[in-house]
């Protein structure tokens, strides 16, 4: 990287720290004042957006609960103070400890429940499993209802069936949930398009970032949901891939944003907020520094320039072979569904992109042992030929088996 870019490789890492969710800059003076408030005023609160046709407005920045919420009670309190009122959790986060931590907070501050748009999920999809999961989550969180209940991580529209709809209507009538939907890590566009035609899905949490938002298929899918009145929440907004990236484009991108007073991580949030149909960005913010950085980004009304968006697009193109968009309906049938390619690519993203090796290993260990044992013997060549991004699937699967197994 030339010195003309104003930020050498060494200086960039001194300024911005590790790239991704951890790359932060301290808020400027105006942002600090807004975040702190004064003796005569409350601190600034992040903007809110309409959540589809639900009639509810939610904070544009949501708190992802995949961290130790029990020992971060002050962070939860501060999140509310800054207006981060969309709270997301799941039974599998920390083996239930995420929900328990939120429950401790609500037990101590029961009056705050009315401020929170509370979301949890179920990894059981049959009516009986949904009921058991919901009741367990209500017990753990000390809540008497959830604002939104999601089928967790599905990629098959067939799960959005009459039985699920009937279960959701019954749970709503009993006051246990207000809205029903699903989350999706793969085949997002197909899932969104299918849901938009059903007439009963209230909300969707989807992987959505600067890499995906510009594709024609994703634009059409988001538009179909917007027309159907479905509330959309974006997750995994940093666009990290299965391969650890070290590129000229990434450094140029980061250097440009540092000069403007915010980081590449904050810029990636801003890019997602450019889409008005995205009601909230769910971000894992396990410490006060990242929380403050993301809140500052939400409060900062500076728009990304067309040149900056083009830089992000160039970076996305340069690193596309290391980013799996989750289109598993293409690759997995090619190998007879012998391995969950999309899941493995996502677990590698946790390891290489986010540095969360412990979580990546836990997720990888959940793959059935028989599947893990045969990963290195599967012929992935047909899947690689069909992959739109020409990802070296076999090589990455072998890497996952070595570092995560």
pLDDT by residue (tens digit) across 11-37? 333 333 333 333 444 555 555 555 666
Pairing of strands 48-50, 57-59: antiparallel
For residue 290, the surrounding DSSP H or E stretch is helix 288-299
User: Is the pLDDT higher at 1 or at 323?
Assistant: 323
Once rounded to an integer, what is the mean pLDDT over residues 295-318?
A: 89
- What is the average pLDDT score of the chain? 89
Once rounded to an integer, what is the mean pLDDT over residues 194-207?
A: 98
Region of 398 please: left (phi>0), alpha (psi -120 to 50) or beta: alpha
- 71: burial class by Cβ within 10 Å (0-12, 13-18, 19+)? exposed
Stretch among 151-155, 222-226, 305-309 having the lowest mean pLDDT: 305-309
Three-class DSSP category at 329? helix
Burial of 117-154, coded b for 16+ CB within 10 Å and e otherwise, reads bbbbbbeebeeeebbebbeebbebbbbebbbbbbbbbb
Query: Which sign, positive or negative, has the C-alpha torsion 28, 29, 30, 33?
Result: positive
Stretch among 137-151, 195-209, 313-327 having the lowest mean pLDDT: 313-327
Residue corresponding to tokens 């193109």: 317
Q: Which residues pair with 28 in a beta bridge?
A: none
Residue 35, pLDDT score: 67
pTM for the model stands at: 0.87
C-alpha–C-alpha distance, residues 251 and 372, integer Å: 36
DSSP tag of 92:
T
Residue 260, pLDDT score: 82
Residue 34, pLDDT score: 59
Q: Which residues pair with 234 in a beta bridge?
A: 206, 281
Residue 1, pLDDT score: 30
Q: Which domains does the chain have, with CATH numbers?
A: 3-315 (3.20.20.100), 324-403 (no CATH)
Stretch among 154-163, 196-205, 296-305, 310-319 having the lowest mean pLDDT: 310-319
Q: Which residues pair with 177 in a beta bridge?
A: 146
Residue 42, pLDDT score: 75
C-alpha–C-alpha distance, residues 24 and 40, integer Å: 29
Once rounded to an integer, what is the mean pLDDT over residues 175-192?
A: 96
What are the φ/ψ torsions at residue 55 (nearest 5 degrees)?
Answer: 85, 0
**Res. 8: pLDDT tops 50:** no
Three-class DSSP category at 262? coil
Once rounded to an integer, what is the mean pLDDT over residues 117-145?
A: 98
Residue 73, pLDDT score: 97
**Confidence band for 220, pLDDT divided at 50, 70 and 90:** very high
Residue 255, pLDDT score: 80
User: Is the pLDDT higher at 16 or at 74?
Assistant: 74
Q: Are 186 and 328 in contact (CB under 8 A)?
A: yes
Residue 28, pLDDT score: 57
272-302: pLDDT as tens digits: 999 999 999 999 999 999 999 999 999 998 8
Quick one: what percent of the chain has pLDDT higher than 70? Answer: 88
**Res. 212: pLDDT tops 80:** yes
- 162: burial class by Cβ within 10 Å (0-12, 13-18, 19+)? exposed
Q: Which residues contact 6 (CB under 8 A, 6 or more apart)?
A: 255, 259
Once rounded to an integer, what is the mean pLDDT over residues 195-209?
A: 97
Once rounded to an integer, what is the mean pLDDT over residues 148-171?
A: 97
Residue 249, pLDDT score: 65
Residue 37, pLDDT score: 60
C-alpha–C-alpha distance, residues 120 and 100, integer Å: 12
Three-point CA angle 98, 59, 157, nearest 5°: 70
**Res. 4: pLDDT tops 70:** no
Residue corresponding to tokens 């720290």: 17
**Res. 75: pLDDT tops 70:** yes
What are the φ/ψ torsions at residue 69 (nearest 5 degrees)?
Answer: -70, -25
CA atoms within 13 A on the CB side of 221: 21
Tokens for 49? 């957006």
Once rounded to an integer, what is the mean pLDDT over residues 155-162?
A: 95
Residue 231, pLDDT score: 98
Three-class DSSP category at 352? helix
**Res. 105: pLDDT tops 60:** yes
For residue 311, the surrounding DSSP H or E stretch is helix 306-318
């Amino acid at each position: 990287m030339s010195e003309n870019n104003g930020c050498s490789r060494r200086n960039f890492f001194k300024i911005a720290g590790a790239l991704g969710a951890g790359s932060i800059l301290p808020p400027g003076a105006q942002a600090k004042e807004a975040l702190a408030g004064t003796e005569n005023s409350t601190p600034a609160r992040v903007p809110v957006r309409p959540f589809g046709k639900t009639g509810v407005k939610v904070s544009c920045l949501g708190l992802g609960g995949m961290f130790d919420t029990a020992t971060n009670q002050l962070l939860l309190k501060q999140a509310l103070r800054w207006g981060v009122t969309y709270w997301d959790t799941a039974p599998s986060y920390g083996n239930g400890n995420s929900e328990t931590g939120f429950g401790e907070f609500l037990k101590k501050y029961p009056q705050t429940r009315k401020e929170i748009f509370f979301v949890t999920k179920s990894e059981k999809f049959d009516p009986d499993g949904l009921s058991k999961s919901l009741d367990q989550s209500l017990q753990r969180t000390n809540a008497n209802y959830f604002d939104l209940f999601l089928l967790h991580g599905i990629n098959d529209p067939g799960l959005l069936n009459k039985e699920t709809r009937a279960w959701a209507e019954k749970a709503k009538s009993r006051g246990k949930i207000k809205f029903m939907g699903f989350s999706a890590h793969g085949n997002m566009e197909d899932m969104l398009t299918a849901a938009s035609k059903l007439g009963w899905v209230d909300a969707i949490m989807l992987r959505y970032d600067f890499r995906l938002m510009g594709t024609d298929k994703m634009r059409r899918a988001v538009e179909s949901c917007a027309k159907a009145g479905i509330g959309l929440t974006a997750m995994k907004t940093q666009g990290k891939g299965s391969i650890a990236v070290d590129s000229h484009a990434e450094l140029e991108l980061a250097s440009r944003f540092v000069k403007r007073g915010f980081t590449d991580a904050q810029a990636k949030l801003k890019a997602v907020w450019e889409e008005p149909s995205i009601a909230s960005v769910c971000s894992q913010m396990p410490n006060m520094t990242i929380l403050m950085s993301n809140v500052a980004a939400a409060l900062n009304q500076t728009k990304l320039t067309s040149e900056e968006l083009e830089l992000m697009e160039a970076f996305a193109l340069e690193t596309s072979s290391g980013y799996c968009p989750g289109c598993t309906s293409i690759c997995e049938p090619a190998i007879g569904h012998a391995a969950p390619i999309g899941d493995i690519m996502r677990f590698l993203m946790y390891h290489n992109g986010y540095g969360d090796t412990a979580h990546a290993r836990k997720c990888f260990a959940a793959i059935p042992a028989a599947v893990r044992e045969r990963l290195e013997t599967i012929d992935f060549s047909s899947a690689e030929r069909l992959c739109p991004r020409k990802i070296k699937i076999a090589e990455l699967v072998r890497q996952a088996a070595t570092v995560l197994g």
